[in-house]
Structure 1
Amino acid sequence: MSEAPPLIELRGLRKRYGGRGGAPAVEVLRGVSLRIEAGEFVAIVGASGSGKSTLMHLLGCLDRPSGGSYRFAGRDVTHFDADALAWLRREAFGFVFQSYHLIGTESARENVEVPALYAGMPEAERRARAAALLARLGLEDRLGHRPHELSGGQQQRVSIARALMNGGRIILADEPTGALDSRSGAEVMALLDELARAGHTVIVITHDHEVAAAARRTIEIRDGLIVDDSGPAAPPSGAAVLPELRPQARGARAPFVAELRDACRAAWRVMWIHRFRTSLTLLGIVIGVASVIVMLAVGLGARQQVVAQASAFGANLLYMSSVGASSRIPGRSVTLADLAAVAELPQIEVVLPNVTGNKVVRFGEKDLQTYVRGTGAAMPAVQTWPVRSGGFFSAEDEDDMAAVAVLGRKLARELMPEIADPVGQHILIENMPFQVIGVMAEKGALAGDQSYDDLLLMPFSTASVKVFGQREPTYTAMTVREGAGVEAAERAVDAVMFERHGIRDYRIGNAAAAIAAKARTEDTMTLLLGLIAAVSLLVGGIGVMNVMLMTVRERTREIGIRMATGARQRDILRQFLTEAVLVSVVGGCAGVAIGLALGGALIWWNVPVIFSLRAIVGAFACATATGLVFGFMPARQAARLDPVAALSSE
């Protein structure tokens, strides 16, 4: 015997199952001691239930013993952690299973590449090596075929090529001919013998004594104990000496970009194969992202429209109205004398008194109830409201209490539908004749207020004396001089009025505050709409988690295969997390495209829409984060699976 430690040395190895929750423990291996030297061709033979498969799992570091020791090349691996065992499987072992255990979504070449992927071999090198191994086994014309397109013998040869991908110092073959016909079985055993002659250590697990006879050493196991061992056999002359096992590099890993690219490729293939289910999963993400984009775009559009509309009515305006009645002048607390005093303030440029009320207007046989407003000649300039046709009344008209009227655009259409230009026509208000001298341009309404286009305008003096019989204004509009500041002007007006009245029986407000309040209301509504839309993202995330849990269950055997070929827990975690994120990213991209398309359609229908890059990026980022968060639990569950249990799943 060589002084070097044996390749594999078992001392009193035991394995028991159960023993928890009151269930009796079942001891499958009962103190197995065994030495296997490098280059041996060993057959472990035993009937079903004898413990031979359990022994293979322990030898291949797929499972941990319950007792005893396992030394590999002199190192005790009994207490290796999961990553260290994965390193050992990746660098030292190659598995050949009875049912082949190939990944159904991968081609023959991609199946062979799997161990090298986890070993960090560059893509070009592993592709070339996988192709060379398959060609060596007579499968050079089957590189791109998937397992279901291959015969049983071809699939087993693919699994042998996979076992050799990282060197295959030790080939563990579990019933390698069990699912094959006699001819294919003989070919596989011939391949294993060839590998043994080339210097590989080959361990075959079988119940067939004829298969065991092909090995150079036979070990029989029964009831968890070795009952017969033909003894070590010297390796055949001319056998190659395989390279030493590379030192364990616990932090070593493949380049991140290469790992991510391969994970994305595998994830995309799975998504495409299950595209109907994937589409249903994507639906929640797509609806969520599109809804957030469209809702926020509509909200921002509505906000801008409100602000623009409100600004059109004058952002530098102050409004003052009476509160209650004055003891001096019943019904009104603000008088024309007050306005004259306010007009003296340096901050105020124009004071525009207004008296308003509803009146019946008649033209011919048609009567309409409308809103009449007596105002000053400066009104079009103060409120940026131009005249469309005709003209506006002048200061002289106001001094003369002229019986003239200017109609809002909508009022003109409704009162005189058959007259193209109402200018020059006469109307009756309270049986008093008025001449129409102009029609205003369309202005609309400040959100929630009466439409300005329904107004009938006349001089303040005419309205207050002849129409309403009330000299004091209903409310007053004041323009703030440029540079004075709206809030400063408001304080100045309040000081003058309080000095004159002694009490605040008046109310002062500014248009800027009203605009800001309405903008805040729109912002609140936009936020509410965005939150409602975000619920769809949450629902989509739950859908991703549900589908990923289902995927883990469906692909449990694949997880076992990847672990057997050297995948670490973090490799499995990354694989399934990548799939979850990829689903969300694809859904996010589709949601952005649909959201932009819907927004474009709304613009075509003249709905105010403003796309926000922040909203688009935010919605996409939330979709990606949704996949990351909701995909983590299924991915972690996959990473924590037991390799043996995963391999044996259906």
Structure 2
Amino acid sequence: MDETTSRHPAPPPAPVAQEQPHAAPTGTRPIVELVDVSRIYPNGESVVRALDRVSLAIHPGEFVAIMGQSGSGKSTLMNIVGCLDRASAGTYRVDGVDVSHLDADALAALRCSTFGFVFQRYNLLPSLTAAENVEIPAIYAGAPQEERFGRSHELLGRLGLGDRTEHRPSQLSGGQQQRVSIARALMNAAPVILADEPTGALDTRSGEDVLALLKELNAEGHTVILITHDPDVARHARRIVRFQDGRIVADERHEGEPARPALPASRAPRRQGLARFLPDLAEAVRMAFASMHNSIFRTALTLLGIVIGVASVITMLAVGDGGKERVLERIAQIGTNLLIVRPGARGIRSSGDNATLLPEDADALRVIPGISAISPERSGRFTLRFGSQDYFTSVTGTSADYLSARDWPMARGVMFTDADVRAYAPVIVLGQTVVDNLFGEDDPLGRYVLVKNVPYEVIGVLSPRGANAFGQDQDDAALIPMSTGFVRAFGQRFVNSVTVKVADSGDIPAVEQAVTRIIADRHQAEDFQVRNTSQFLETATETQNTLTLVLGCVAAISLLVAGIGVMNIMLVSVTERTREIGIRIATGARMSNIMLQFNTEALVVCSVGGLVGVGLGLATAVGLEAMGVSIAFALMPPLLAFGCAFLTGLVFGYLPARKAAGLDPVVALAYE
């Protein structure tokens, strides 16, 4: 468009010089009617009157040239006529409808159904083919894809571009691009064609072809409004309206203007509601992928932030959940319905050599109902010898209930019995680690090992259990009867702990109270403490949940940073595509269409990044698992991570989309 404003103090209205003898067509209502329309722009303490009380009526079927020099106001008039701008004062009617009462979406619908724009600089979208450029108005009119496709190819074929439908604007000459622009103006069968300097960028031959085409369209019944500064171009019209300093100074009609066909019916939107939204969304997704493809390097950098964020969420949650499961499994191996009685008052750390807890205390607890096993224990570290092999390990003197209390099965052999305990039998049960170090691949059963130079017969091997909740190797152990240990290994007759297994976990509180009461009565003091292993489980669960939450928050921060990056890129994209937005608005896009397109682009970027991130996160977790890291896979973390990525696109795409939808179409179309 050319510069449309003239700057001078507001003068009194000047008389309009019009040649009155040639009346307007009779019997029809004006398709375009302006009554005392002014367009005023503030300019510091003064104002700029781009239009000054202009009155003009254009009837269906007319071919009108709006002629004037740069700054005369003709392009401002076209913007108001095309509903791209609003008048500051006066009345403007389109086919009898006062547009001053219409909101932005109603104006968009009016542009979509009534006006077709032909611009001096063509204003084709460089990323789209000729056919796709022509289809744009029909997209915003809600036409089905098949109908759009057929009509766009039909129009291009009619205009001599049937073999150029898949060419992009950069592959077309100036005349061909202008023909594509005209085809786009005709896509919705718009009754009014607004041509703004349509020959200004063309050579003489191409310009003549375009003017001939406009005359042909006028002969078919289209109302053509031609904006030009060239008298030779204006002479092709049957009516010339001359502008100067924002006013009409002449309105000339040619003699013998023929009657025109009736006004073609405008195309109303085909669908409404959800039936309209879903195709619009599908088109927005398609355009989003096209936009991503056109800026592939920038898209890849934008995706990178989302991919890293989503992959971090999945990997960290998988590691956190894996660690949690591993800890809980180890605690479960100890047992979750156990009471552990240890010497020493609560709150005072005991060395384990406190002699206040005796085997008789364990025997006294057997009267408590609900107990399935009681195992007093006394431990020490000794060197075990077999032949020339020595191994330093933990030796525990205990009762025959030890394995039952710990839910620890035998791998082979047997556990010593109560009879062995009463008989001070020199027998021993070994853990798998001890067996590996002393016997290697040999069978240890029936062999003898020395503990403090006393031979013990190996009668059983415990099944492997691995590390406990504290990372200690549970298989690095040996069990002997407690009575034998007191006499031949430990010396003093006291225990380090008493393990009480409760048959029903619901009875744990009552059993714990009874254990505390009985031992306190026996000792006449509370010089011991009772620990509930279910509390260990709760504490460990809370701790692991906290750690997992911390890991998830760290990963979420990376998603937040990625979201800010998406918003920044989209804001830059809005600025770079300002002219494109203006073109879309001029061809009938509503604010909701623009918002949907840019929000969808952000959603598509984040969704694609989310999918790639999910795959990368799962692959990373699998790799860590192969390296020995505890990993737990679940459905929720990938869904959560992808949902966060999707939400990131929705939230951080809103501001750029709103900025795009709020652009002034006149300013957007003039953006360089």
> What TM-score do you get using the length of structure 2 for normalisation?
0.89
Query: Match for 1:314: what amino acid?
Result: G
Q: 1:452 and 2:474 equivalent?
A: yes
Q: 1:6, 1:73 within 8 Å by CA — same for their partners in 2? A: yes
| 2: CA distance, partners of 1:407 / 1:253 | 73
Identity among equivalent positions (%) equals 49
Provide the residue aligned with 2:144 in structure 1.
122
Cα gap change, 1:176 to 1:419, in 2 (>3 Å): closer
Change (3 A) 1:453 1:123: same
* Distance apart, 1:575 and its partner CA: 0.9
Q: Secondary structure at the match of 1:485?
A: helix
Quote how far apart the aligned CAs of 1:484 are.
6.6
Q: How does 1:126-137 map to 2 (within 5 A)?
A: 126-137=148-159
Corresponding residue for residue 340 of structure 1: 363
Q: 1:77 aligned to 2:120? A: no
Match of 2:518 in 1: 496
- Once the 2 structures are TM-superposed, how far is the Cα of residue 425 of structure 1 from its aligned partner? 5.2
Aligned to 1:297: 318
Partner residue, 1:393: 416
Pairwise CA distance, 1:245 = 5.2
Local SS of the residue matching 2:77: helix
Classify the secondary structure of the residue corresponding to 1:70: strand
Aligned with residue 402 of structure 2, among 361, 365, 379: 379
Local SS of the residue matching 1:32: strand
Structure 1, residues 487-533: CA drift from partner, whole Å, max 9, x if none? 33223322323443454322112333323322332222222222222
Q: Is the contact made by 1:40 and 1:234 (CA closer than 8 Å) also made in structure 2?
A: no
Question: Structure 1's 68 and 488: CA in aligned 2 closer, same or farther, altered over 3 A?
Answer: same
Tell which deviates more after alignment, 403-412 or 55-64: 403-412
AA of the residue aligned to 2:666: V
Q: Distance in 2 between matches of 1:435 and 1:233?
A: 130
Relative to 1, partners in 2 of residues 1:74 and 1:145: Cα closer, same or farther, differing over 3 Å? same
Pair 1:97-2:119 in alignment:
yes
| Cα distance, 1:235–1:166 mapped onto 2, change above 3 Å | farther
2:3 is aligned to none
Q: State whether residues 197 and 235 of structure 1, in contact with CA within 8 Å, keep that contact through their aligned partners in structure 2.
A: no
Q: Which moved more, 1:69-78 or 1:558-567?
A: 69-78
Provide the C-alpha distance between the structure 2 equivalents of 1:384 and 1:71, rounded to a whole number of angstroms: 90
Give a deviation string over 1:324-359, Cα, whole Å, max 9, x none: 499xxx933333332222111121122111012334
Alignment match of 2:494 (pick from 472, 475, 484):
472
Deviations 1:401-437 (A, max 9, x none): 33443333223434x3767344555555445454544
Match of 1:320 in 2: 341
Q: Measure the CA separation in 2 of the matches of 1:484 and 1:596.
A: 40
Cα deviation, 1:120-177, whole Å, max 9, x if unaligned, reads: 2222222222221111111112222221121111111111111111122111111101
Provide closer, same or farther for how the CA distance between residues 106 and 305 of structure 1 changes in structure 2, counting only shifts above 3 A. same
Aligned to 1:185: 207
Q: Deviations over 1:244-286 (max 9, x none)?
A: 5578999779622211111111111111121221111111222
Q: Is the 1:96–1:163 Cα contact (8 Å) retained in structure 2? A: yes
Q: For 2:475, what is the secondary structure of its paired residue?
A: helix
Secondary structure of the residue that 1:259 maps to in structure 2? helix
Change (3 A) 1:254 1:512: closer
Residues 24-81 of structure 1 show CA distances to partners (whole Å, capped at 9, x for unaligned) of: 4322222222222221111112222222211211111111122222222333223432
Shift of 1:94: 0.6
Shift of 1:608: 3.7
Q: Does 1:526 align with 2:560?
A: no
Provide the residue aligned with 1:628 in structure 2: 650
1:596 to 614, 618, 632: 618
Counterpart of 2:224 in structure 1 is 202
1:29 is matched with which residue? 51
**Counterpart contact for 1:324–1:332, Cα < 8 Å:** no
TM-score normalised over the length of structure 1: 0.92
Question: For the residues of structure 1 that align with 2:254 and 2:483, how far apart are their CA atoms?
Answer: 124
Question: CA distance change for structure 1 residues 290 and 252 in 2, over 3 Å: closer, same or farther?
Answer: closer
Report the equivalent of 1:168.
190
1:576 equivalent in structure 2: 598
Amino acid in the other structure paired with 1:243: P
What is the one-letter code of the residue matched to 2:362? L
Residue correspondence of structure 1 range 229-244 to structure 2 within 5 A: 229-231=251-253, 235-237=257-259, 239-244=260-265
Are the counterparts in 2 of residues 118 and 254 from structure 1 also a CA contact under 8 Å?
no
Deviation of 1:569 (Å): 0.7
Q: Is contact 2:141-2:269 (8 Å) kept?
A: no
1:405 aligns with 2:428: yes
1:48 maps to which of 58, 70, 94: 70
Cα offset, 1:106, TM superposition: 1.7
Q: Secondary structure at the match of 1:78?
A: helix
Q: Matches of residues 347-362 of structure 1 in structure 2 within 5 Å?
A: 347-361=370-384
* Offset from partner CA, 1:554-612 (integer Å, 9 cap, x none): 11111100100111111111111111111111112222222333334344445443322
| Equivalent residues of 2:60, 2:263 under 8 A apart | no
What amino acid maps onto 1:301 in structure 2? G
Number of residue-to-residue matches in the alignment: 643
| Structure 1 counterpart of 2:204, one-letter code | S
Q: Could you tell me which amino acid in structure 1 is paired with residue 223 of structure 2? A: T
Q: Secondary structure at the match of 2:164?
A: coil
Is there any run of 5+ residues in structure 2 with no aligned partner, and where? 1-23
For residues 56-71 of structure 1, what are the structure 2 equivalents within 5 Å?
Answer: 56-71=78-93
SS at match of 1:230: strand
Deviation of 1:472 after TM superposition, in Å, equals 1.8
CA, structure 1 residues 109+499, in 2 after alignment: closer, same or farther (shift >3 Å)? same
Instruction: Report the counterpart of residue 157 of structure 1 in structure 2.
Output: 179
Deviation at 1:454, TM superposition (A): 2.0
What amino acid is the match of 2:34? L
Q: Which amino acid aligns with 1:273?
A: N
Shift of 1:640: 0.1
Residue 182 (structure 1) shift: 0.9
3-state SS of 2:117 partner: strand
Higher alpha-carbon deviation: 638-647 or 341-350: 341-350
CA distance in 2, matches of 1:645, 1:500: 94
Structure-1 residue corresponding to 2:239: 217
- Measured in 1, the distance between the counterparts of 2:132 and 2:554 equals 44
- Cα root mean square deviation, aligned: 2.7
How far does residue 466 in structure 1 lie from its aligned partner after superposition? 2.9
Amino acid at match of 2:71: G
**In 1, Cα distance between equivalents of 2:365 and 2:257:** 114
Following the alignment from structure 1 to structure 2, what is the Cα–Cα distance between the partners of residues 232 and 64? 31
In the alignment, does 2:30 pair up with 1:6? yes
Residue type matched to 1:240 in 2? Answer: P
Deviation at 1:361, TM superposition (A): 4.5
Which of 35, 40, 53 is equivalent to 1:16? 40
Are 1:265 and 2:281 counterparts? no
Cα distance in 2 for partners of 1:452, 1:261 equals 60
- For residues 379 and 51 of structure 1, the distance between their equivalents in structure 2, rounded to whole angstroms, comes to 101
What one-letter code is carried by the residue in structure 2 that aligns with 1:647?
Answer: L
Q: CA deviation at 1:366?
A: 6.3
1:11 counterpart SS class:
strand
SS at match of 2:498: strand
CA contact (8 A) 2:142 2:270 kept: no
- The CA distance in 1 between the partners of 2:378 and 2:370, in whole Å, is 24
Tell me by how many angstroms 1:190 deviates: 0.2
User: In the alignment, which residue of structure 1 is the partner of 2:298?
Assistant: 277
Shift of 1:482: 4.9
